[in-house]
Structure 1
Amino acid sequence: MSLASLIFLSVLFGTAVAPDAVIVLVALCLLAEVCVVAVQILARLVQRTSRNTSAPSSAVPYFSVHVACHNEPAGLVCDTIRALHAQDCPREQYEIIVMDNNTSDPAKWVPVRDYCASLPANVRFLHCVDVKGAKAGALNIALAKSAAEATHIVTIDSDYVVSPGFLSCAARVLEQVGSDFLQFPQAYRHVGRATHGISLELEDYFSFHARSANGTGLMLPTGTLSVIDKKALESVGGWPTDGVTEDAHLGYILCAAGYQGRFIDRAVGHGILPLALDDFEQQRFRWSNGNARVLRRAILDRLQNTKARGRMRQTVVIASQLTAWLSFLLIPVAALLGSLLFGSAQPLLILASALCVTIGVGRSLLPLLIGKAHNDLRTLAGAIANRLALLPAAARGTLEATLTDRAQFIVTRKDGGPRGDRLLPRDHVALLVLAALAIPAAMAAGSLACFALLPLFALLPAARMTHAALEAYRTSPQFLLEFAKNG
């Protein structure tokens, strides 16, 4: 049993034996949700009154492009390398380092090595075993192997196919506006009508958080399609290896060191969506868990460093981005269900937990509705369904990051093989059953308790919608054709 599940059950039954202690926990979660809302509002106010002070660069950049891969389909990685090799940027201005780490199956890395060997000398392949620190550890090896003349490090996920003008675009941006690191938006290929909503839900981070942070120079990199000044990266010790979201962690370290980042709102590369709900849940758990750990470090740094306390604008903008995937709903949901089911029915406990659930769900869904009038109702419904379906995973990741430093980096599967998706996800089914049993007590408790139960009924249908959309995605003719080509 996971730590999050154990805590959920403890709070659920604890409402009957120790309701006062549960009220304290719910109050802390309510405070956290209110603080997140306040931070995200303040971040937008700060953006309106801030200016990015980065200066244009006159130097011609030399890009060292790093592709870290682990246990990936060889054809998929070769497609990524092929697109990078086809850049319209002069070949003497960039190199490509493919860093395969800890892949034990030669059928997955040997073809990539052989393909790289057939390309010009500016493409290199490295295969290392016993690499520590997951993706960050692999990127640090690539950093150490980068050309001495390299001015910027570019990171590309192994499933991303970039446009021919990607590096030329990055060079023009650096020449025009400068910045210590750039971040281009992540986008996805083979997106059809069934998966427009999922794509919109993922895009929300860039449209709601990245654009707001852009004017401040405090945009955090997201790990792929990132362009980072090599000297800046080396000055902070390279990629941090003690977390599971090395991109956000690095961004925080760079910003704290005084470096500036900029979001470039132009799609220059497209990757593969997670191929099943299980994969999506693991990814969202990692994002929320890793960002919560970085946020915890940022808070501790601010408390311990008197100079850092004065940089309120920086703290607010960075915290707003780090809270994008966080959810503090696990404890208040357990408290609400427990107080309704086990007869404690303390009005204060029901009120606090119902209010926390309402604020938490509303905070998660509201960004999807702001400025999305150009999207049809089906797309919005798909985005909302995806956000709801992944809330349990986000809540588990956030809570476990708050209580423990244990974390495991799980690579999101990108192969087209069979999936082991459960027909009925356990978390979603359990919450639906408990919510159904709590209906009579909720009706007696009042409208707020009933309203707070509604999202729990929506979780399972939302998960089934996401499952169906991803199944349509991975069985679409375009997707099947690509993976047939890649073997």
Structure 2
Amino acid sequence: MGVSVLSGQNVQRLAEVAPLPVPRLPLGRHLVLNGAITEAQLVEALQLQLRLNAPLGKIIVAEGWAEPRDILDALSAQSGLQIADLAATPPASELGDLMPVAFWLKHAVVPWIRMGPIVLVATSRPDRFPEVADAMAAAGLTAMPVLAGLDHIHAALARLFAAPLAKAAETCVEPSQSCRDWTFGARLPAILTGILILLVAVAFPELGLAALIFASVLTLSLFMALRLAGFAAHVAGRTHLIASHPGPRLPPISVLVPLYKEREIADALVRRLGRLNYPKALLDVILVLEEKDGVTQAALSAADLPHWMRVIKVPDLGGLTTKPRAMNFALDFCRGEIVGVWDAEDAPAPDQLERVAARFAQAPPDVVCLQGILDYYNPRTNWRARCFTIEYCSWFRVILPGIARLGLVVPLGGTTLFFRRQVLEELGRWDAHNVTEDADLGVRLCRAGYRTEMIDTVTHEEASFRAWPWVRQRSRWLKGFMVTYLVHMRAPRRLLADLGLWRFVGFQAFFLGTLGQFLLAPVLWSLWLLLFGLPHPIAQMVAPPLMAILVGFLVLAELLNILIGLTAVSAKDRRFLMPWVPTMMAYFPLGAVAAYKALWELAIRPFFWDKTQHGQAPEEDQPA
């Protein structure tokens, strides 16, 4: 096609003369003349561009009519610019210092080669290059454009700024709302205090028992009050899941999919995400891998990734390896104004992104996060998978929509989350050291005066159906809840001022209630002895009428849980789970093991990410 590619050996001639003016035919016309597309395809692409906020070339590639290289060649013919081979001649490391890294990322350009006063800068959008040239001229630099694909530019930027971007990904959140300063020395006073309390309880057993029972009943009361409030809002019809329809012009959406040691998931992931109906010209799915994760890289190398799905590798600095750190790094390379998160095993509803885009278009500016419904695609695997599904249905279909509608703090669910990108960056992204970065971010956005809404779209995941993997996953969640609570309670008065009294109480109810129910579960179980008239040490310390009230409260709490569970699985496709709802009492005892594991890790390994292995259960058919 007569378009040359620049490498390091032939840039001298380009540096001596500026590109000559050429007749500017439209890009689509160049593609037709080159035989890359037909006239009919060009007409259809122009019609699509009327409702898609995407460049014409991206639409043509998305429809499968041309390859990215065809678009680059046509752009070169249109602009008179040469194409830079960033792979054969990568940018020199010192060029990155010519301008701040934020400049290169903002404009999606990369400094390629410097020859005297001239810097050749690779861009995929020559129409936007004058802004780049003006900014560099103000810094005393003469910039000349060359062409490169956006994927190649991002790859070059990731290599050029690997260390500083990876380091910045660990420190995005302001120190007062991060746990990254939790050295062993900082944790030692709390550890010693805990040991002292335990020794006092052993030395004075009656006092210790009374304190444990009081704490267990208090946390149960908090937790049940929160669940009752959410359930009441659901029953009263005060809450509804937002169901919207796409508007006339859709925005570009980026979705981060963090992967780590995922041997079995690659083909299934591509197949599941391939079901999405969102225009592929506006879809940017980023598979976020750790640089040292050879397992996942090998799995993906055998997969045929579509053009709207790309891989970003997070540099290994020899320290922290967490999901939030990886997402912080990848966020710099997102192309969408809306940013979402899916997990490796997720199977989102085909119309999910249309609903997200429509709701953000209609929602007030303070709604910066949309949380979808999480469900499971393998509820029939075994009893534990059934109970896991009941638990999530209760939370995501009943309680969480209720507390969101009541204006309380919404602890986010880690996946099927969508954010206005600008606000996400203003909030400091995710805390790279918090193993429940989702719940922490939910608190921080609420403290900043923003809101989360539930949206009527479902993502199916894989239920953890084996005992020890369930304990490991649950222990990570509980450790993260402990971390989040302790971080935000560093300054209780400031937290109260940020949240207001109503949200502050809801914050206490969720975190103290959840943690107390798992950590103090053995104490609560022991109280069931009173129901059957069996001896219990508390009987000698409490009057019979008070014991009757205590037993009645336990029964009512369990009945409320059963009622919520039955309501949550009342939909046609989940009614087969109803007989299993009463067995949930036997489902949670392993949670106590997970809680004590979490408490131990909080003391000695607060940043350890206990990985959940995916791809262990077959995907069952889901209702349309």
TM over 0.5: yes
Residue 405 of structure 2: aligned partner: 215
Match of 1:253 among 429, 435, 444: 444
RMSD: 4.5
Q: 1:360 and 1:239 mapped to 2: Cα distance?
A: 38
Deviations 1:407-441 (A, max 9, x none): 5321112243xxxxxxxxxxxxxxxxxxxxxxxxx
The aligned residue for residue 438 of structure 1 is none
- Out of 566, 579, 591, which is 1:378 matched to? 579
SS at match of 2:445: helix
CA contact (8 A) 1:287 1:325 kept: no
Q: Equivalent of 2:334, from 143, 146, 161?
A: 146
Shift, 1:211, TM fit: 1.4
Aligned to 1:202: 392
Q: CA deviation at 1:20?
A: 2.4
Alpha-carbon distance between aligned partners in 2 of 1:38 and 1:46, rounded to the nearest angstrom: 12
Residues 1:313 and 2:497 are matched in the alignment: no
- Residue segments in structure 2 that go unaligned for 5+ positions in a row: 1-189
- The answer to whether the aligner puts 1:159 opposite 2:345 as a matched pair is yes
Q: Give per-residue Cα distances to partners, 1:214-260, cap 9 Å, x unaligned.
A: 32455332111111111111011111123221111111111111111
SS where residue 66 of structure 1 aligns?
A: strand
The 5 Å alignment of 1:11-410 reads: 18-41=205-228, 60-73=250-263, 75-101=264-290, 104=293, 106-113=294-301, 115=303, 118-120=305-307, 123-126=310-313, 128-129=315-316, 130=318, 132=320, 134-147=322-335, 150-177=336-363, 179-192=367-380, 194=382, 195-216=385-406, 218-267=409-458, 269-305=459-495, 307-308=497-498, 311-322=500-511, 325-328=514-517, 330-331=519-520, 333=522, 347-348=540-541, 363=557, 366-370=560-564, 372=566, 374=570, 375=575, 377-386=578-587, 388-393=588-593, 395-396=595-596, 406=606, 408-410=608-610
Counterpart Cα distance in 2 of 1:409 and 1:166: 29
CA contact (8 A) 1:97 1:126 kept: no
Q: Distance in 2 between matches of 1:273 and 1:12?
A: 39
Cα gap change, 1:37 to 1:480, in 2 (>3 Å):
closer
Aligned to 1:433: none
Per the TM alignment, residue 138 of structure 1 is displaced from its structure 2 partner at its CA by 0.9
Instruction: Please tell me the residue identity of whatever aligns with 1:272.
Output: E
Alpha-carbon distance in structure 2 between the residues aligned to 1:19 and 1:161: 52
Give 1 or 2 for the bigger CA radius of gyration.
2
Q: Aligned in 2, Cα 1:99/1:16: closer, same or farther, shift over 3 Å?
A: same
1:273 to partner: Cα distance: 1.3
Query: How much does 1:110 deviate?
Result: 2.3
Letter in 1 for 2:401: R
Q: After superposition, what is the alpha-carbon deviation per residue over 1:140-188, rounded to whole angstroms, capped at 9, x for unaligned?
A: 11112212xx211110000112233221222122233353111111111
1:316-369 deviation digits (Å, cap 9, x = unpaired)? 444455467433464573699799999977722799999889867964773342
The one-letter code matched in structure 2 to 1:32 is T
Q: Secondary structure at the match of 1:157?
A: coil
- How far off its partner does 1:397 sit? 6.0
CA change 1:25–1:86 in 2 (3 A) is closer
Deviations 1:193-216 (A, max 9, x none): 844443112222113321112324
Whole-angstrom distance in 1 between the partners of 2:381 and 2:355: 30
1:51–1:259 distance in 2 versus 1, CA, 3 Å: farther
Give the 3-state SS of the residue equivalent to 2:261 in structure 1: coil
Matches of 1:139 and 1:382, distance apart in 2: 38
Letter matched to residue 222 of structure 2: C
Residues 111-166 of structure 1 show CA distances to partners (whole Å, capped at 9, x for unaligned) of 314536x531653342543462511111111112212xx21111000011223322
Determine the C-alpha separation between the residues in 2 that align with 1:357 and 1:143: 51
Distance 2:327 2:399 in 1: 26
Partners of 2:199 and 2:379 in 1: CA distance: 40
1:88 maps to a residue whose letter is: N
CA distance in 2, matches of 1:301, 1:43: 27
Change (3 A) 1:353 1:286: farther
Counterpart AA for 2:372 = F
Moved more, 402-411 or 286-295: 402-411
- The answer (yes or no) to whether the contact 1:67–1:157 under 8 Å persists in 2 is yes
Kindly provide the CA deviation profile for residues 429-467 of structure 1, in whole angstroms up to 9, marking residues without a partner as x: xxxxxxxxxxxxxxxxxxxxxxxxxxxxxxxxxxxxxxx
Q: How far off its partner does 1:261 sit?
A: 0.8
Q: Give the Cα separation in 2 of the matches to 1:349 and 1:12.
A: 24
By relative contact order (CA 8 Å, sep 6+), the higher-ranking structure is 1
Identify the structure with the greater helix proportion.
Answer: 1
Give 3-state SS (helix, strand or coil) of 1:191's partner: coil
**Structure 2: distance between partners of 1:40 and 1:398:** 24
CA separation of 1:384/1:343 partners in 2, compared to 1, >3 Å: closer, same or farther? Answer: closer
Q: Aligned to 1:411, which of 596, 601, 611?
A: 611
Q: Closer, same or farther in 2 for the Cα pair 1:28/1:270, shift >3 Å?
A: closer
CA–CA distance in 1 between the matches of 2:473 and 2:295?
Answer: 26
Percent sequence identity is 18
Change (3 A) 1:316 1:251: same
TM-score, with structure 1 as normaliser: 0.68
- 1:395 CA drift (Å): 4.3
State whether residues 12 and 337 of structure 1, in contact with CA within 8 Å, keep that contact through their aligned partners in structure 2.
Answer: no
Counterparts of 1:180 and 1:120, CA distance in 2: 28
Cα distance in structure 1, aligned partners of 2:373 and 2:425? 24
Give 1:23's aligned amino acid.
A
SS in 2 for 1:274: coil
The one-letter code matched in structure 2 to 1:369 is L
Q: What letter matches 1:160 in structure 2?
A: D
CA gap of 1:398–1:23, structure 2 versus 1, over 3 A, is farther
